């Protein structure tokens, strides 16, 4: 279970929010250091429509997930409208760098390439890999409203891979302009029909 901190401790961990790592649709991320000497990423969330208890419930849900491909929540803080997450620190760059680079996975998927796994990978492990990729593509949609809630993410992770579907624009690069996305007018995930992210005929590879 993630550890709860007060907001003053968050300020100490980030040394007064001095080292900003980046900014996303839901807030800013800062580099921090725990008393143990462990480096962490601290995400200061923007104004949320959810109340404090909803935030704590979501943190508790996500905190129970342990997977090599899921960034673990180490701690959190919530005081009034101020919410923060303490996450594992990734020292080798952002996810965007690896996802959208020429050597990244998305261009390969868009070209219809097969998923390459280790020779000793089981069918179960291949299905897990495919599931993680689909969920990840939902989570990196350019518009925040198109991304699933953490409750939906947990549902997808627990669903059978055969019932998951790809997002409306799975290969959308952040370098593409928002006007194109507005013209396409994809279905929003914030209030999805039952089959919005399930029951797809999309296939990886050829």
Q: Which residues are annotated as a binding site for ATP?
A: 43
- Where do we find the tokens 């620190």? 89
Please report, in range form, the residues annotated as the binding site: 43
Distance CA 29, CA 15 (A): 13
Distance CA 15, CA 165 (A): 42
């Amino acid at each position: 279970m993630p550890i709860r901190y007060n907001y003053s401790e968050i300020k100490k961990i980030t040394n007064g929010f001095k080292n900003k790592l980046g900014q996303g649709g839901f807030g800013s991320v800062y580099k921090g250091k725990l008393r143990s000497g462990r480096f962490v990423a601290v995400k200061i969330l923007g104004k949320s429509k959810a109340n404090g208890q909803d935030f704590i419930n979501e943190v508790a849900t996500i905190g129970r997930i342990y997977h090599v491909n899921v960034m673990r929540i180490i701690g959190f803080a919530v005081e009034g409208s101020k919410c923060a997450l303490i996450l594992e620190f990734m020292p080798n760059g952002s996810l965007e760098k690896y996802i959208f680079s020429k050597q990244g996975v998305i261009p390969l998927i868009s070209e219809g390439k097969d998923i390459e796994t280790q020779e000793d990978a089981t069918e179960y492990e291949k299905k897990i890999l495919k599931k993680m990729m689909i969920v990840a593509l939902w989570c990196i949609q350019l518009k925040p409203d198109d991304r699933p809630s953490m409750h939906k993410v947990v549902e997808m992770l627990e669903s059978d891979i055969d019932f998951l579907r790809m997002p409306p624009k799975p290969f959308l690069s952040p370098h593409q302009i928002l006007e194109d996305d507005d013209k396409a007018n994809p279905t929003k995930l914030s209030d999805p029909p039952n089959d919005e992210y399930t029951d797809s005929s999309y296939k990886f590879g050829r």
